[in-house]
Amino acid sequence: MAEETIFTKIINGEIPADKIYEDDLCIAINDIAPRAPVHVLVIPKKPIPRLVDASEEDQAILGHLMLAAGEVARQQGVGDAFRLVVNNGADAGQTVFHLHLHIIGGTSFSEASLAGE
């Protein structure tokens, strides 16, 4: 059982967040420290720590996260131009060990790094 993260607490309603989307498998929240005009996190309700910790049984969840990200990006008005970023591991910049997709949009990608910074 993975250690409970801040995202699990948000999913469980134990701490507040700016939630903009929810379905059976995931939520989407506005990042608390946005690095672009649109910076949304798509978070599975299942607490998979890192992408590399996902297994075959998570295939449907992983596919669902991609579809949800597209839907949320459209809802946020950046459906034609956004990046999806997954930081896997501390050395790659992961700070919350509960898998999440960063939707980065509304910025000039020619001036943005791959991490959206």
x-or-dash string of contact with ligand AMP, 69-98, rule CB under 6 A: ------------------x-----xxxx--
Q: What's the closest the beta carbon of residue 12 comes to ligand AMP, in angstroms?
A: 13
42 φ, ψ (degrees, to nearest 5) = -100, 120
Just list the catalytic residues.
100
User: Residue 31 interacts with ligand AMP (CB under 6 A)?
Assistant: yes
What is the DSSP code string of 17-72? --EEEE-SSEEEEE-SS-SSSEEEEEEESS---SGGG--GGGHHHHHHHHHHHHHH
- Judged by CB under 6 A, the stretch of 25-33, 47-55, 56-64, 68-76 that binds ligand AMP is 25-33
54 φ, ψ (degrees, to nearest 5) = -70, 150
Residues that bind ligand AMP (CB under 6 A): 6, 17, 29, 31-33, 41, 87, 93-96
